[in-house]
Amino acid sequence: MSIASDPNRLLPAEPGVRAIARSLLEQVQDLPIISPHGHIDADMLLHDTPFPDPAALLVSPDHYVTRLIHASGVPLDQLGVGPGARTEPRTVWRHFCAAWPLFEGTASGYWLRSEFEHVFGLTEEPSEAAADALFDTISARLKDPGFRPRQLFKDFNIEVLATTDDPLDDLAAHAGLAADPAFQGRVVPTFRPDAYINAHAPGFADNVTRLVQSAGDGKSGYAGYVTALENRRRYFIDHGAVSADHGVRTPLTLKLDRVEAEALFEKARRGDVSAAERDAFEAHMLYQMARMSVEDGLVMTIHPGSFRNHHPGTFERFGADTGHDIPFAVNYTEGIRPLLADFGTAKDFHLVLFTLDETVFSRELAPLAGFYPAVYLGAPWWFLDAPDAMLRFRSAVTETAGFSRSAGFIDDTRAFCSIPARHDTSRRIEASFLARLVAEHRITEAGAARIIVDLVDASPRRVFKL
């Protein structure tokens, strides 16, 4: 039997623990997928656009995949990355197949193997020899109407899918899907204002100008800026949004008085600002975003701690999100305090905290989530969205915060076909962790069964107000 089909895949090896895990897994295996945070394109679902080819579907846009092939020495343009890529899809695919052994033991390797088997019905592993045949087989499948996005959405048993959107997006695709009687799924936008708040980012001033002009109710300056953000949040809520996401550099927050905030805003717009002032402005705006969430009810999620575009040469040539964002240490305890001092016990405020720095799981996040009613633990994210890292997460947070403070699984993916494999991985790891606790007589098997259903199904609905 292949790895991806083995019913015991990802479960603990010890037979007694495995049997418990199998039984827990049965409780959740057929539950619908709830995906409250990700990067799927709503237009693709609106128009039910066929996937172009195997490389464009599975390789070029997935920086989890291209990064490791790049590390092995294949230039990114050979992988179809970047705006000007001209490499033939078949060539990209050959590189990918030749690089297949690199993915052994990685999360991406597991997801891909699972997709090949469960989505495409393939029985052969990728290899240099099999590359062309595989390319042809998958290409043929992609022409089949059964492989169009809407049919897969149904086959994957997705109930809710959140996209990530620019505040000035008109959300026409979301409106179109909601109005389409032929589409039964729920696709909701997510407000992601980074480009309008991150004063370090290139384009900040222009973005702000566009924002104020289009949504500032005719006001100018800081007042127009805040009004425009509030208005766009309202627009998102009217189009079904349940959360606002913040990809900040650090989780620093700061409450400035209006005069200070206005002054920093004007300096930041002019680009006449020190690094410390930019940091202060961003910290203030993260605080403001929490204030708005308290007022308008959008769940707030924070994804900090990634040094974006670490390699300048790659950024210049291929752009952002091309595999060289590198995590660093974060300090939630002091950084998030001004926000929590004012809003940590605010009624119905939900704040989901993510990290790429595992050290904060036991030291900061579990203690915060174990006291503040507003704080929930985000699932292990990005580099940590993998079996062993998920087990370390549960081990690190549970003894302080229990299971009730978890926000549920988030797939955060740009790779549509990986969604079932990612949720399946998460469910198998939750079952594995709980099975160990049962086998060690820390919790009862009945308790574990109740907990896994809550983690997989009720938690994301509750925390993301779905």
Hey, which residues between 412 and 441 contact a copy of itself (CB under 8 A)?
Answer: 436-437, 439-441
29 touching a copy of itself, by CB under 8 A: no
Min dist. Cβ of residue 168 to a copy of itself (A) = 31
The 102-121 contact track toward a copy of itself, x by CB under 8 A, reads xxxxxx-xx-----------
Q: What is each CA distance from 449 to 205, 439, 446, in whole angstroms?
A: 52, 13, 5
Site for a copy of itself in 274-313 (CB under 8 A): 307, 310-313
Q: Do 426 and 379 meet the contact criterion of CB atoms below 8 Å apart? A: yes
**293 contacts: CB under 8 Å, gap ≥ 6:** 244, 299, 300, 343, 349, 350, 351
Task: Please tell me whether residue 350 binds a copy of itself under the rule CB under 8 A.
Answer: no
Query: Which stretch, 196-204, 397-405, 416-424, 456-464, contacts a copy of itself (CB under 8 A)?
Result: 397-405
**Should residue 359 be labelled a site residue for a copy of itself when binding is judged by CB under 8 A?**
yes
150 or 436: whose CB is closer to a copy of itself? 436
Query: Would you say 91 and 57 are in contact if contact means Cβ atoms under 8 Å apart?
Result: no
Which span sits near a copy of itself by CB under 8 A: 139-147, 162-170, 294-302, 336-344?
Answer: 336-344
The reply to whether 388 sits near a copy of itself by the rule CB under 8 A is yes
Q: How far is CA 133 from CA 54, 79, 138, 262, in A?
A: 12, 19, 9, 61
Query: For a copy of itself, which residue of 337, 414, 461, 462 counts as binding (CB under 8 A)?
Result: 337
CB closer to a copy of itself, 158 vs 256: 256
Q: Decide if 177 contacts 218 (C-beta within 8 A).
A: no
Decide if residue 195 touches a copy of itself (CB under 8 A): no
The CA-based dihedral angle spanning residues 129, 132, 138, 140, taken in that order and rounded to the nearest 10 degrees: -140
Cα 147 from Cα 156, distance rounded (Å): 11
| Count of C-beta atoms within a 10 Å radius of residue 264 | 21
Block residue for tokens 């308008």? 296
Helix%, strand%, coil% for the chain, nearest 5:
55, 5, 40
C-alpha 174: how far from chain center: 19
Residues 39-78 touching a copy of itself, rule: CB under 8 A, are 67-68, 70-73
Whole-number Å distance between alpha carbons of 99 and 87: 17
- Out of 178, 237, 326, 466, the residue judged to bind a copy of itself by CB under 8 A: 326
* 386 contacts a copy of itself (rule: CB under 8 A): yes
Write the CB contacts of 71 (distance below 8 Å, at least 6 apart in sequence): 102
Q: Please tell me whether residue 9 binds a copy of itself under the rule CB under 8 A.
A: yes
Query: Cβ(373)–Cβ(401) under 8 Å?
Result: no
Q: Is 128 a binder of a copy of itself (CB under 8 A)? A: no
CB of 179 to a copy of itself, least distance (A): 37
Say how many C-beta atoms besides its own lie within 10 A of residue 289's C-beta: 24
Q: Is residue 451 a contact point for a copy of itself (CB under 8 A)?
A: yes
Q: Of 14 and 238, which has the nearer Cβ to a copy of itself?
A: 14
Identified binder of a copy of itself from the candidate list 287, 403, 416, 464, rule CB under 8 A: 403
- Closest distance of CB 441 from a copy of itself, Å: 4
**Residue type present at position 339:** L
Binding to a copy of itself by residue 351, rule CB under 8 A?
no
Minimum distance from CB of 364 to a copy of itself (Å)?
A: 6
> Could you tell me the smallest distance in angstroms from the CB atom of residue 245 to a copy of itself?
21
**Count of residues interacting with a copy of itself (CB under 8 A):** 92
The reply on whether position 320 binds a copy of itself by CB under 8 A is no
Determine if 23 is a binding residue for a copy of itself (CB under 8 A): no
